[in-house]
Homo-oligomer: A and B are copies of this chain.
Amino acid sequence: MGRTSDAKRKILDAACSLIEGRGYSALGVAEICQAAGVPKGSFYYFFESKEALALAVVDEHWAAQRREWTQALTGEEEPLQRLRRLFEETEAGQRAVQEGCGTVAGCLFGNLTLELSNRTEVVRGRLQEIFEAQVGMVESVIVEARERGEVGVTDTREAARAVVAQLEGQVMFAKLYNNTGRLSPLWQNCRALLGATAAQGGAS
């Protein structure tokens, strides 16, 4: 049992790292198994297809990221400070990956959205759920900030979508330029999108 779980764990870890680095389509099952150090036959014992593996990778990545987002976005700090923390931690996370492998990996969900959403409806559906959840988490913070009179937006859902879109767009640029410094304007841009009223950090 221990060895079986180990093999599945190794496949998932190798797949996550390879998909982050090179995308989904460029990978073959044989290559994933080789990187994982498991025989190719064992792949289909755990996953019925490469698509099933992609879904498992997405689910696992989201479970970890949701914990991080929840930790950043809830707590005692003022709501906008928590949002700021989310951006700082995103930048730190991208920097850590870059230090490890030499390149900014970007957002796994954004990468797969552009690569796969028109090719597999089941992956599209899963990614939609994840982005809806992200938007919902950001919206909760915006609603809190609005109740405190700290932001001027009226449509909090649309504002949350704009914030997550800005995050995805800037992460795309961080990947393109292999430069996590591209993420540092996120906080000011978010403040602008929300019509933030207080002068925290100085509005431009």
Interface residues of A, Cβ cutoff 8 Å to B: 21-26, 103-106, 110-111, 113-115, 117-119, 124, 127-128, 131, 152-155, 158-159, 161-162, 164-170, 172-173, 175-178, 182, 185, 188-189, 192-195, 203-204
Contact = CB atoms under 8 A, between A and B. Distances in A.
For this chain, the copies found in one complex come to: 2
A151 to B, nearest CB: 11
The 3 closest A-B pairs by CB, nearest first: A165-B169, A169-B169, A25-B25
Contact of A167 (B103, B104, B115, B169): B169
A118 B170 CA distance: 16
A26 B25 CA distance: 5
Contacts of A153: 204
A172 B119 contact: no
A162 B189 contact: yes
Nearest to A117: B176
A185 B158 contact: yes
Given A153-B204, A155-B204, A170-B165, A175 B23 contact: no
A154 B22 contact: no
A131 B164 CA distance: 20
A173 B132 CA distance: 10
B25 A23 contact: yes
A114 B171 CA distance: 10
B162 A166 contact: yes
Contacts of A194: 192
Contact of A128 (B24, B111, B131, B176): B176
16 contacts: A21-B118, A23-B114, A106-B114, A111-B115, A114-B172, A115-B115, A117-B176, A153-B204, A154-B204, A158-B185, A161-B170, A162-B166, A164-B169, A168-B172, A192-B194, A195-B203
